Structure 1
C-alpha cells in the first residue's frame, strides 16, 4: 500500500513538472514581451533613440537564442518605428516586411494586433488614411481574439484613439468622435482626455474642449503621468486657453510645458516646437512683438536642433550597431545575412535624415524670413499708431516715442541745423507723419495761419528749396 501511494505521488509530481516545463516557455516569452514593450516605450517617449536601438539589438539576440519569432517581430516593429520618425518610409517598409514574415505562422493574436496597429500608423504618416483604417480594422480583429492581458488592455484604447485620428483626417467627424470617446472611456488618462479636447479644438468647439481639458489637468495631477505626456497636456491647455482668449492661463500652461522640456533635457519631444509656435502666436496677439519674435525664432531653432540631434544620435547608434554585429559570433548562422542587411538598412537612415535636415532647414529659413517681416510690420504698425495717438493728444512724450520709431530722423535734422529746438523737432516729426496744417493746428491748439508760418521758418532753418514739397523732403530724410 505504501509503495502504491509512493508511485502515485511520484507520477503526480512528474506530471506537475512536465506541466510547469510546458508553461515555462510561454511565461518566458510573455516576460520578454512585457519587458521589451515597456522599456522601448519609455525610451521612445524620452527620445533616446540611440539607447532604443541598442535595446532592440540586445532583445533581437535574445529572441534568436529563444527561437522566438514573435519576439524578433517586435524588435523589427520597434526599429520600423524609428525609420518612420526619421521619414525613411522605404526602410520602414523593409522592417515591416521582416516583422510580417516572422508573424506569418503565429497564433499569438496580440502580436498580430500590434503589427497592424504600427502598420496603420505608418500609413497615416504617408497620409494613406484608407490603408491606415484597413490596418486598424485588422488590429481590432486580432485584439478581440487575443487572450486577456495587461498588454491587450493597454493596446485597445490606443487602437480607438488612432482610429479617431484617421477618421478625423477623412472628415468623418461623427465616427471619429465616437472612437475618441470610446478610447477615453477605456483608458481615461490625461493623454486620452487631451486627445478628445484636441478633437473639439480642431473642430472649433472650445466649450466642449474645455470639459476634457479640465479632466486632463486633474488626471495629470492625480495619476503618475510621464513628463512627455504632461508636456502634451499643458500644450493642449495652452492651445485651448489661446482659443478662448484667456491669455494669462494660456501663457502659464505653455510656460509649464517649457519647464518640463528643460527638466527632461534629453526629451526631443515633437510637441515642444509647437509650444514655441503657440507662444509666438500668443504674444503676437498681445501686441508684444519682441517676445513674439523671440519665440518664433526659438521655434525655428528647435525644428533644426531636433533634426540635427537625431541625425547625430542615429549616426552613433548605427556605428555601434554594425560593430556589435561584427563582434557577435554566437548568433544563429542562418540569421547572419539578415543582420547584415539590417545594419546596412539602418545605415541608410542617415541618408534619409540628411535629406530631411536640408529640406527642413531651407523651408524653415524661408518661413522664418516671412514671419520675421510680418512681425516687424506688425510691431511697426503698433508703434506708429501709438505715436500718432500721442501727437493727437499733444502729449509731452510724443517726441521721445517718435525717436524710438525713427531713431535716425532727429540726428539727421540736427546735422543740417544743430540749433533746432525741441518744439521745432516735434513740428518736423508731425510733418514726417504727414499731418495736414489743419490737423497740426487742431492737435497743438494754434491757428491755421501759425502753422503755415512755422512751415515757412522750418524751410529757412533747413534750407529746403521752394520748389521741393516739404512733406516729400521729410519723407526722404533717413530715419
Structure 2
C-alpha cells in the first residue's frame, strides 16, 4: 500500500513540475510575441518585453528563447542608435545561437549585424554580413526564409544605391519585389512582424528612382510603401512621410514637401530619432520658396545636430577604446593579486618543496609575460581598428567635399542645396551680411568658398571670364569687401 502511495506521489509531483514548467515557457513565448507585435509600432515596448523575456529565459536555462529575446532587444537598440548595448546583444545572441543550431535565427542576427554596421557607416562590413546571412538560407523555401531573402535583396539594393551603382540597385530591388509579391497577402500577414518588410521594400525602390531624379516613376512605389505601412498598422511612419516630401520637392511642390517633412520630424521625435537631414531638406524647401528666415532657422538646426551626431560617433569609438583599456587594467590587477597570493603561498611552504615552488613561480612569470604580450597585441589591434574608423569618418567627409566639387563643376542645379547642407554656417553668415542676396550671387560665393578661379567658374557656368569678374566686383560691393582685401581670403574667413 505504501509503495502505491509513493508511486502516486511521484506521478503527481512530476505532473505538477511539468505543468509549472510549461506555464513558464508559455509566459516567455508570450513576451517574445508581444515584442514582435510592437516592431515599428512602439520600439520601447519591444525592448521592454524582450528584456523581460531574456531574464525569464535565463532562469529556465532555455538557449533558444534567450537567443530570440536577444534579437528583439538588439533590433530595438539598433533602431534607437544605442549601438554599444546592441552589439553586446548581437554578439551574445550569436554565441548562444551556436548552441541551438537555428540557421534562420543566425541569418537574422547576421542581417541585424549588417544593419548595425550600416548605422556606423561601415557599408562594406554591412554588405558582407548580409551576404553571409543570405548564404545560410538562400536554398530554403519556407515562408520566413523567403521573406528574409526578400529583405536581404532590398538591403543589397540600398548598398548599391549608396555606391551609385543604380543598375545593380534596380536589379536587387526588382528581385526583392518579385519575391515578396509572389507570396499571397494573407500568408504574408500570418508571418511574424520581424520578417515582414514589404513597406520598406517599396520604399527603397522609390528611393532609388528619386536618386535618379525620376519622381513620376517613383510615385507608385511611394504610394505602395505608404499604403502597406498603414495596412500593417505602423506607428513609425517617418520614412514614408519623408519620401513623399522628397517626391514633392523634386516636382517643385515645395509647400507640400514642407508639409510632409514636418510630419516626418514630428514622427521621428515620437520615436526619439534625430532629424537633422530632414531639417536640411526643410531649409532647402524654404530656400526654393524664397523664405530665407525659415531656411536659416532649419539650416542652423540641421548643422548643430549633424555636428552632435559626428561627435557622438567619435565618442562611441572612444568609449569602445576606453572599455578595452579598462578591461586590460582589470586583468592586470587580477593577475597581480594572483601573483601576490602565490608569493604568500611560497612563504608558508616548506623548505622541502622550495624547488617545486621556484619552478612554479617561473612558470607563472612566463605565463604573465605571455598574457601581457597578448593583451598588448589586442590593444594594438584595437588602436588600429579605431584609427581605421577615424580614417573612414575622414573619408566620408572628404567624399562629401568631392561630391560638392563635382556638382559645382557640372553646374548641377542641386549644387547650391548640397553646398548649404555641407556649409550651413557659411551660408547663414552670407545671408546675415546681405539678406536679399540673389541666388546667383550666393552660388558665386559658394564657388569662391571652394577656391575656384575666375577662369574655372567661367568654364563651369558657361559664361565669360569677364562676366565672372564683373560679378565678383558686384559681390565686393554687396558684401562691403574692402578693395585691398583678397576676396578669396575674405570669403574663407567668413
TM-score (norm 2): 0.51
Aligned-residue CA RMSD in angstroms? 4.8
Shift of the alpha carbon at 1:82? 6.4
Shift of the alpha carbon at 1:292? 0.9
- SS at 1:379 equivalent: coil
- 2:81 counterpart of 1:109: no
Structure 1 contact 110–146 (Cα < 8 Å) conserved? no
What do residues 225-260 of structure 1 show as CA deviations (whole Å, max 9, x unaligned)? 42322x221211111221222223323322443454
What do residues 176-226 of structure 1 show as CA deviations (whole Å, max 9, x unaligned)? 222223334416844332221111122333332233234335545x62442
For residues 439 and 41 of structure 2, the distance between their equivalents in structure 1, rounded to whole angstroms, comes to 49
Give the 3 Å change call, closer, same or farther, for CA 148–92 of structure 1 in structure 2.
Answer: same
- SS at 1:228 equivalent: coil
The one of 277, 281, 293 equivalent to 1:274 is 277
Give the 3 Å change call, closer, same or farther, for CA 367–242 of structure 1 in structure 2.
Answer: same
> What is residue 69 of structure 1 aligned with on the other side?
63
How many aligned positions are there? 313
> What is residue 228 of structure 1 aligned with on the other side?
236
Structure 1 contact 40–55 (Cα < 8 Å) conserved? no
The one of 39, 47, 57 equivalent to 2:51 is 57
Structure 1 contact 108–146 (Cα < 8 Å) conserved? no
Give the 3 Å change call, closer, same or farther, for CA 257–143 of structure 1 in structure 2.
Answer: same
> What is residue 131 of structure 1 aligned with on the other side?
125
Structure 2 contact 241–263 (Cα < 8 Å) conserved? yes
For residues 259 and 203 of structure 1, the distance between their equivalents in structure 2, rounded to whole angstroms, comes to 28
> What is residue 164 of structure 1 aligned with on the other side?
157
User: Which protein is bigger by CA-based radius of gyration?
Assistant: 1
- 2:347 counterpart of 1:291: no
Q: Which runs of 4+ in 1 moved over 6 A?
A: 20-29, 85-88, 304-309, 363-366
Structure 1 contact 109–142 (Cα < 8 Å) conserved? yes
Shift of the alpha carbon at 1:127? 4.2
For residues 365 and 168 of structure 1, the distance between their equivalents in structure 2, rounded to whole angstroms, comes to 20
Structure 2 contact 249–257 (Cα < 8 Å) conserved? yes
1:23-62 equivalences in 2 (<5 Å): 31=30, 33-39=32-38, 42-44=41-43, 48=44, 54-62=48-56
- SS at 1:227 equivalent: coil
Shift of the alpha carbon at 1:92? 5.0
Structure 2 contact 40–234 (Cα < 8 Å) conserved? no
Give the 3 Å change call, closer, same or farther, for CA 114–31 of structure 1 in structure 2.
Answer: farther
Give the 3 Å change call, closer, same or farther, for CA 296–130 of structure 1 in structure 2.
Answer: closer
Shift of the alpha carbon at 1:145? 6.4
- Structure 1: unaligned runs, 5 residues or longer: 1-19, 312-351, 386-432, 435-479
Shift of the alpha carbon at 1:281? 0.4
- 2:168 counterpart of 1:175: yes
1:36-435 equivalences in 2 (<5 Å): 36-39=35-38, 42-44=41-43, 48=44, 54-78=48-72, 80=74, 92-144=86-138, 148=142, 152=145, 155-185=148-178, 186=180, 189-219=198-228, 223-229=231-237, 231-258=238-265, 260=267, 266-270=270-274, 272-300=275-303, 368-376=424-432, 379-382=435-438
What do residues 284-337 of structure 1 show as CA deviations (whole Å, max 9, x unaligned)? 12221112112223435666899999x9xxxxxxxxxxxxxxxxxxxxxxxxxx
Structure 1 contact 76–99 (Cα < 8 Å) conserved? yes
26-35 or 155-164, which deviates more: 26-35
Give the 3 Å change call, closer, same or farther, for CA 136–237 of structure 1 in structure 2.
Answer: same
Shift of the alpha carbon at 1:59? 1.6
- SS at 1:226 equivalent: coil
Structure 1 contact 70–111 (Cα < 8 Å) conserved? no
Structure 2 contact 140–146 (Cα < 8 Å) conserved? no
For residues 97 and 280 of structure 1, the distance between their equivalents in structure 2, rounded to whole angstroms, comes to 40
Structure 2 contact 51–73 (Cα < 8 Å) conserved? no
Give the 3 Å change call, closer, same or farther, for CA 225–295 of structure 1 in structure 2.
Answer: farther
Structure 1 contact 36–59 (Cα < 8 Å) conserved? no
Give the 3 Å change call, closer, same or farther, for CA 209–124 of structure 1 in structure 2.
Answer: same
Shift of the alpha carbon at 1:38? 3.2
Give the 3 Å change call, closer, same or farther, for CA 158–31 of structure 1 in structure 2.
Answer: farther
Higher relative contact order (CA 8 A, sep 6+): 1
